[in-house]
Amino acid sequence: MDIIPIGPGFAAELRGVTVADVAASDEAYGKVRAAFEEHSVLVFRDQDVTDEAQLAYSRRFGPLEVTKVGSEGFGTNLVILKTLDDNGNIVPEDHRLALRNKANQLWHTDSPFKRLPALASVLSSRIIPGRGGETEFVSTRLAFERLDPVLRKRLENMFAWHDYAYSRGKIAPDLASSAERAALPPQCWRLVWKNPVNGRGALYIASHTYAIEGMEDAAGKMLLAELMAAATAPGLSYVHTWHKGDMVMWDNRATMHRGRPWPANEPRYMVRTTISATAADGLESMRAPPRQAAE
Ligand code: OGA
Ligand code: MN
């Protein structure tokens, strides 16, 4: 297996190993897992990517998130990002599917608003627009390491609140349905996620992050905006331009990503699997201590 760095200090393309190898072999999984801990974004090219291959690869890394779809609410491990309706027509720009893509164009990490946040996401492209539609990544690990040590120490002991409805509200006031709001109450996590393998900390922030525990609202939002700006300043990103056969995996503990726009009259179809974080991924140290009961 060859590891070819492709981004500014993070992100690597893997050669000489396939998605199917990882699913089938402990040895291949071990090497790719180590590359994942180190490089935060992994790119596979020229793969035979089917839903089954992507699922089998993803299951190696931990338990998969279940997404409820359809009126019966049956569960699936796949998240489909598409702009086509059931008849294969491109949806209008104010359609929920289009607005959802717009929300994905805000810098974020996946699932900090869930009871179990995500270790990693795996994304493959099935229909690629002629131009645009790239996925862009920044390292919140490198962003954290660039901060001055006094601020780093302070941030390590802070906790922040994440809410799905908050980030959706930036796109359209009612984009998060009442059922989604009820299912996804805000979650509070430590502001710095320390990787248990290499001990390196990363800012754990996203478009979903709306408050810092114990801080006045405006001051918390200002600090969050400053950290966001520092992490996403020009020149710090890896932009993935999609080609048929690509599969990309990222570490939600140590990166943020966003989709890039594309011409609205062109279809785009992406398939994502999402791996929940476990204790082995450093989850327990992310939990806020229970609030003190009022006297
Ligand atoms: C995602 C996501 C961006 C894109 O799948 O989690 O944010 O480029 N995707 O589609
Ligand atoms: Mn995402």
Total domains in the fold of the chain: 1
Q: What is the pLDDT of residue 31?
A: 98
- What CATH number did the domain enclosing 100 receive? 3.60.130.10
Banded model confidence at residue 99, pLDDT cuts 50, 70, 90: very high
Q: For residue 184, give every residue at least 6 positions away whose Cβ sits within 8 Å of its Cβ, in sequence order, or none.
A: 113, 114, 163, 164, 165, 176
Mutate to test the pocket of ligand 1, among 78, 81, 121, 127 (most ligand atoms within 8 A of CB): 81
Give the pLDDT confidence score for residue 181 in this predicted structure: 94
pLDDT (0 to 100) of residue 49: 95
128 CB less than 6 Å from ligand 1? no
CA of 108 to the centre of ligand 2 (A): 6
Cα of 220 vs centre of ligand 2, distance in Å, is 23
CA distances from 224 to 109, 117, 210, 289 (A): 14, 19, 8, 21
Q: What percent of the chain lies above the pLDDT cut of 70?
A: 97
Tell me the CA–centroid distance for residue 114 and ligand 2, in Å. 13
* Residue having the nearest C-alpha atom to atom 5 of ligand 1: 272
Contact 14, 1 (CB under 8 A): yes
Distance of CA 236 from the midpoint of ligand 1 (Å): 18
Q: What is the mean pLDDT of the chain?
A: 95
Provide the residue range defining the domain that includes 32.
2-294
Residue reference for tokens 């627009």: 129
> DSSP states of 47-63 as a string?
----HHHHHHHHHTTSP
- Indicate which atom in ligand 1 lies nearest the CA of residue 257: 7
Atom 2 of ligand 1: nearest residue by CA position: 104
Continuous H helices in 201-251:
217-231
Q: Rounded CA gap, 276 and 283, in Å?
A: 10
* CA-110 nearest atom, ligand 1: 6
Whole-number Å distance, alpha carbon 144 to ligand 1 midpoint, is 23
> Is residue 102 over pLDDT 80?
yes
Q: Taking the model in full, what pTM does it have?
A: 0.96
Query: Tens digits of per-residue pLDDT, 52-76?
Result: 999 999 999 999 999 876 666 678 9
Give the mean pLDDT of 235-258: 98
* Contact in structure between 64 and 273 (CB atoms under 8 Å): yes
Ligand nearest to the CA of 101: 1
Decide: 259 in ligand 1 pocket, CB within 6 A.
yes
Q: Whose CA is nearest to atom 3 of ligand 1?
A: 259
- What confidence score (pLDDT) does residue 208 get? 97
Residues 6+ apart with CB under 8 A from 51: 78, 271
